[in-house]
Amino acid sequence: MIYDKKGMETEDVIAYQEREKSRIAYEVEADFNRRREERRTLESSWILNLNFLSGNQYCDVSPLGDIVEEDQRFYWQSRRVFNHIAPMVDARVTTLEKLKPELVVRAFSDEEGDVKAAKLATGILKYVQGRIGLNDLIARATVWSETCGTSFYKVGWNEKGGRQVAVDEAGQPIFEGEVQVSVVPPFELFPDRLDAESFEDLTSVIHARAVPVSYIEEQFGVSMYGEEITSLQGYTEPSAGRLPIQMTRGSSATVKDAVILIERYTRPSVATPQGKLEIVAGGKLLYEGALPFINGERNERGFPFVKQDSMPMPGAFFSSSVIDRLIPVQRAYNAVRNRKHEFLNRLSMGVLTVEDGSIDTEELSEEGLLPGKVIVYRQGGKAPEMLDCGSVPNEFKEEEDRLQKEFSLISGIKDLTENSTITRVTSATGLQLLLAQDESRLTPSIRSIEEARREIGRQILRLYRQFAGTARLMTLTGENKKTQVHYFNATNLNVSDLQFEDRQSSSPEEKKATLLKLYEAGLLTGEDGKITAENKHRILDAFGFGGYENAKDISALHIGKASEENLDLKGVELAPDSYDDHDLHIIEHTRYLLSGEFKKIKDKEVVKKRFERHMKMHKKMKKENGGEGESTAVQENKGGNV
């Protein structure tokens, strides 16, 4: 027999491990079912919101929590839908999508190392945003948050992303890895507490979704049998045998040969300093280990999720949606419009009163009052006559107008053409103030989107710091849209010392108007009354003509060349070129000698003398070329930073 250290036989150890895996899988599935049952009412309200958004507005939540169709009281009643919720949500989403603040990292200090780290982090964020389509992901998540109240992002690391760097012994390619961001609908996320307001208040969170069994075999190497899972998000409660989340219009998803993949993330504690991740599917434990990503503020392992809210609620993890508030108004509006149309039908088609037995009522009911129809009634009887239904009451129009105003009031979106004050406002500034006033109702949603974007940026940088390694190659866009190839390692991303700049969430039109006002006030010009080269580039870039400025302004190229020379001069002697802008080069070399990064260099005196000799050659070449004072680029940059 083979024994382990505790004296147990190998067969007994294997049996014990299998029992432990089965116990963990059962406990995780039971925890998932419990959390789902606790929030059934929330899921039902989300389904109701989706129904009203899509136009199925004659349904409600039953006492059992299911979505049921409302019965028609009379067969002749009109049940048309006049959907005002969809355009209101579209207007909110469109307004929120216009506000796309850039992720710009601010240096912790003015030291050269911190400035370069901030530029590198900003370049990485721009690169990742374009590669993963972050704006499109935020637009998708915004639709979910505006519909259900809350949406989530999952920020992880894909080991099979990026460039291929090597081949393993089996001949399989090895990639450098890349950040991966996906949108997680609220149906798929299950917190351990519904009264927590953020992820910081949670101990654990479950991410559950339906996946094909082929995915399980590919990712975990485990074969299992699947089944057809039908519900809104592709999973249903295994033990219930019913569909607690089911649309009434047949828009639910069906995943064939699938299982529910449950991922439970547990926050680090004294017992588990690195946290815990347990993955279960089909009653089997597929993975158990520490949390995979170091994405916390203090280099801690945390949840790979970011939360985005529409209308935050106190003491609630899932926020409220504007549709929750619009549903009662939409029901009343549908009722008013339908009753109004029924009244109009009575007026146009008429209501006949006839004496019993005087005419054939069945024939009249089938054919109606055709033009030129001859009505024969019993001799001696009373002739049929039209019932006077009066006219459409003014109360219908008044109630309809009140409900339309409630739509605008509740949604925070109002058409300026409906406002009578628009005719009295003639200036662009006044119109802009009215627009800003209307968008002020969207401040909670705007703030949540901005914070979610910043948190995604933080986690992206922390993942690069964890997985970038010692030599990571990346093509980044530098100053003046110049493409540059950077080699960097994880130590260059000291994320704990980096902060995001607060950019105003203003539209492009507002930015252009502000720039024009600053120019008219003379705040963008130098002492000589001319616009500096730096401000000229920023203004043209804001108006969408950045490429035009790049084609003419070469000062940034000279500064970039001087910065590269600063790195070379630390190790070797370097002679200037005849076409260099000597003034710009001298200023850039002097700036480097005064920076904190230069103070950290070993053999500072040797490197300093090398820089002095290089700058003397610049001065000598400038004198030999004619001895002019300052170059054109320096003259243009007077009044601003070079």
Looking at residue 280, what is its pLDDT?
94
Full-model pTM: 0.73
> Which of 150-164, 204-218, 370-384, 461-475 shows the lowest mean pLDDT across its residues?
370-384
Looking at residue 522, what is its pLDDT?
75
Q: What is the pLDDT of residues 171-211, one digit of tens each?
A: 778 787 889 999 999 999 999 999 999 999 999 999 999 88
Distance CA 212, CA 533 (A): 58
Residue with tokens 């985005």, as numbered in its chain: 308
Q: What is the mean pLDDT of residues 134-147?
A: 92
Q: What is the mean pLDDT of residues 547-551?
A: 48
pLDDT at 638 over 60: no
Q: What is the pLDDT of residues 35-52, one digit of tens each?
A: 999 988 898 899 999 999
- Helix-, strand-, coil-residue percentages of the chain, each rounded to 5: 50, 15, 35
Which of 574, 582, 561, 578 minimizes the C-alpha distance to 610? Answer: 574
Q: What is the pLDDT of residues 378-429, one digit of tens each?
A: 777 777 766 666 666 788 788 888 888 888 888 877 655 444 444 455 555 5
Looking at residue 415, what is its pLDDT?
58
Q: What is the mean pLDDT of residues 333-359?
A: 75
Neighbour tally for 15: CB within 10 Å? 12
> Which of 284-288, 484-488, 601-605 shows the lowest mean pLDDT across its residues?
484-488
Q: What is the pLDDT of residues 476-531, one digit of tens each?
A: 655 545 555 555 666 666 655 556 665 554 556 666 777 777 777 777 777 777 77
Per-residue pLDDT band at 59 (split at 50, 70, 90)? confident
Neighbour tally for 539: CB within 10 Å? 19
Q: What is the pLDDT of residues 448-489, one digit of tens each?
A: 998 999 899 989 988 888 887 666 666 665 554 555 555 566
- Work out whether the CA dihedral 628, 632, 638, 642 comes out positive or negative: negative
Residues 207/187, Cβ–Cβ less than 8 Å:
no
Q: What is the mean pLDDT of residues 369-377?
A: 68
HSE-up (13 A, CA, CB side) for residue 363: 10
Q: What is the mean pLDDT of residues 99-116?
A: 71
Token pair listed for 301: 């392992």
Per-residue pLDDT band at 295 (split at 50, 70, 90)? confident
Per-residue pLDDT band at 301 (split at 50, 70, 90)? very high
> Which of 20-34, 140-154, 163-177, 374-388 shows the lowest mean pLDDT across its residues?
374-388
Phi and psi of 393, rounded to 5°? -60, 145
Neighbour tally for 453: CB within 10 Å? 23
Name the burial class of residue 365, with classes exposed (0-12), middle (13-18) and buried (19+) by CB atoms within 10 angstroms of its CB.
exposed
Which of 397, 398, 429, 434 minimizes the C-alpha distance to 417? Answer: 434
> Rounded to an integer, what is the distance from CA 246 to the centroid of its chain?
26
Looking at residue 554, what is its pLDDT?
72
Distance CA 211, CA 207 (A): 12
- Work out whether the CA dihedral 242, 247, 248, 251 comes out positive or negative: negative
Looking at residue 28, what is its pLDDT?
94
Name the burial class of residue 442, with classes exposed (0-12), middle (13-18) and buried (19+) by CB atoms within 10 angstroms of its CB.
buried
Q: What is the mean pLDDT of the chain?
A: 77
pLDDT at 641 over 80: no
